Structure 1
Amino acid sequence: MAEVATMFNEVLPLRSDQHLVFSQLLDAVTFCEQLGSAAWSITLHETGFRLNVGQVEAMTWSCTRFDGNETAVDQDALLSDVRILLAGADCPGKIKDLGEEGHFDELAYKSVGAQHWCYNGTFQVSTTASPDPRRAVVADHLVSLLDNHHQFLKLACTTSSGKLRQKSNYSQHHCESLYAYACAVVNGTAEPNQPDAVDTEEALLAAVARSLADSSEARAARLAVAPTLPERYQTTTTAYRRNGDVIAEVLLRAAGHCEGCQKPAPFIRAYDATPYLEVHHRVPLSVGGEDTVANAVGLCPNCHRAAHYA
């Protein structure tokens, strides 16, 4: 599994991007198994993977490098492409509603036995806290098309006589280590790669703002497939060894009252029975501020947060 992890950590550095791709994959596998069919397999190739169901592909993910001089993306960019197959009587209407936002093709696999289509969603791979806006669009498309993907999977799992298939035509090429890694990513047990786009407070606030601007239905759909346990990762931070005398002098000066709003401290500390105030540096230590009584102020939690965010 280590080689698979290395491959995906290189081409999809943000764990949230890996989760987007692998949650789609595992949802399809789970749906097939809930039908009672074992007719699925996952094929790993140089640029990605393919989920095979019965005699046909059901999902493909690939990552391709493009020259920015020839495309409408950044120079030498990596593009992530998610391809899922769809069916259902309401599919033409959804395709029409999405219009130019989504790329669709009608396919003609003989073993499927009903009209079906392919959706392609593409976004530029990011390694920063500013992901390509198209990623959110692709994620929303995958949610809105999930039922149609399930309808295709049901067709692919069923023979022309109505029996459930129990073996994929590509089972000899199945990559169990990729399946295991996908499970680890979605379950939050994979070894950490690097801090994700929402691992900084600034980026988290931006993610919250985007979520608040979205519909409650879209949030509910994402929450339905989101991991319940957050991923753990290791990081290196810079801390400052502060002077205890400075803190003591500021707290004594404040005398139990916030030096911002002038109100009494909100509660008494349990361990030493002193008024709870937080010592804040007017000029932050991180930008060269001094750890002195003159540069510090005793604040209640509300005023302290306001000093940072208001």
Structure 2
Amino acid sequence: MGGGGGYGVVYRGGLLDGTTVAVKNLIDNRGEAEKEFKVEVEAIGKVRHKNLVGLIGFCAEGSKRMLVYEYVDNGNLEQWLHGDVEPANTLTWDIRMKIAVGTAKGLAYLHEGLEPKVVHRDVKSSNILLDKNWNAKVADFGLAKLLESEKSYVTTRVMGTFGYVSPDYASTGMLNEGSDVYSFGVLLMEIITGRSPVDYSRAPGEMNLVDWFRGMVASRRGEELLDPKIDERPSPRALKRALLVCLRCIDMDASKRPKMGQIVHMLEADEFPFRGEPRPPRDTTIPRPVTPVASKVPFPTVGDKQR
């Protein structure tokens, strides 16, 4: 059984001990296979995180390059959102938020738990694999870039998938973790709405998911953004929180986008103060460590003009 992925074909295989694995056979396309092979081994060869697909081993013999991953048995998010998977209403709001949080945790580890940090560069629904318990696993690191702390990377060739690439990266080639944050924001919109980032079958004002989403929130029509396949609607507070996280992630000013660790806190927080709600006074006599918890990240209210 095979499938596509990056510059190769992915097969299901088995090890001698009975472990099921996924084997990516890289196709040498003008040296791209060698690049992808080196990047994947270097980026995630030693990484172990429950929300990242684990690299078990690799093979390099002659011109052959193969990567062996843990096998994830429930398809990818794109198939569940847009494919013919039945029943269509399986992805409840809670499952969708679990997938979003898991993806955010995987990316937060790449950005904040490793040195050098890893920028994925191709965050999209087809690269989010799911297990039977709906745990998300970020996959396909063939376009990833390793960056030293606090540094950006200028590339002459913008990589990624149309619809998910941040405008600042597309226009300047300046790459940092904010590029992944923007892509995650688009992914979260996709999870909430059930719509693809770009869909030419839609009406002209709805083809581009980001523009349509922004306009709907600005018009206070956030409830209409929900995927009609979601039977049990979330609470207004939970929906508002998710919509606001989307808007923060796609801020046109890349420096104002939150870090992935902050996004995890925002999505997991049951409560956080909205503008206009009283906050408890701080005890200024005790120095407090600065931590990126959701309550310390300012949120715009729904309808605020986004810059």
Same-fold call, TM cutoff 0.5:
no
**Which has the bigger relative contact order, CA under 8 A and spacing at least 6?**
1
Structure-2-length-normalised TM-score: 0.25
Larger Rg: 1 or 2? 1
Structure-1-length-normalised TM-score: 0.25
